[in-house]
Structure 1
Amino acid sequence: MATLWSGSQWKVTSSGVDTLENKYFIEKSRVHEDEGGKWTWEDQMEEKGWVDMADFRRAMTFARAKWPRK
């Protein structure tokens, strides 16, 4: 699984968005799942005390650009 982007806590691989320690994974087919809805990935991650939100947002921005909505 190739790493396409890496930040301080999150990475984007050929399979999706993951933490560097493989603690939390979002399949690439799910990165757009929340757009336009009431619930967002960002909302979910905000609830977790361990998430570096700035790095998570950068990872999701990269992933959403890499795999545009069809």
Structure 2
Amino acid sequence: MATLWKGSQWKVTSAGVDTLDDKYFIAKNRVHEDDGGGWTWEDQMEEKGWVDMADFRRAMTFARAKWPKK
């Protein structure tokens, strides 16, 4: 699996967005997911105390540009 972008805590691979330690993964077909009521991946990650939000946002921005919403 090729790494397309790498930050301090997150990476974007050919399969999706993942932590560098491979403990949290978001498949590429889910990067645009929301609940229709305003929930986003960013909202979910902000609830977790361990997430570097700046790095996560950079990873998601890269991933969403790589795999545009259909």
Q: TM-score, normalised by structure 2?
A: 0.95
CA RMSD of aligned residues (A): 1.3
Shift of 1:5: 0.1
TM-score scaled by structure 1?
A: 0.95
Unaligned runs of 5+ in 1: none
Structure-2 residue corresponding to 1:16: 16
Question: What is the Cα deviation at residue 37 of structure 1?
Answer: 3.7
SS in structure 2 at match of 1:11: strand
Query: What is the aligned length?
Result: 70
Which segment drifts farther, 59-68 or 27-36?
27-36
User: Residues 11-70 of structure 1: CA distance to partner in whole angstroms, max 9, x if unpaired?
Assistant: 000000000000100000000012864211000000000000000000000000000011
Which consecutive aligned stretches of 4+ in structure 1 deviate over 3 angstroms post-superposition?
none
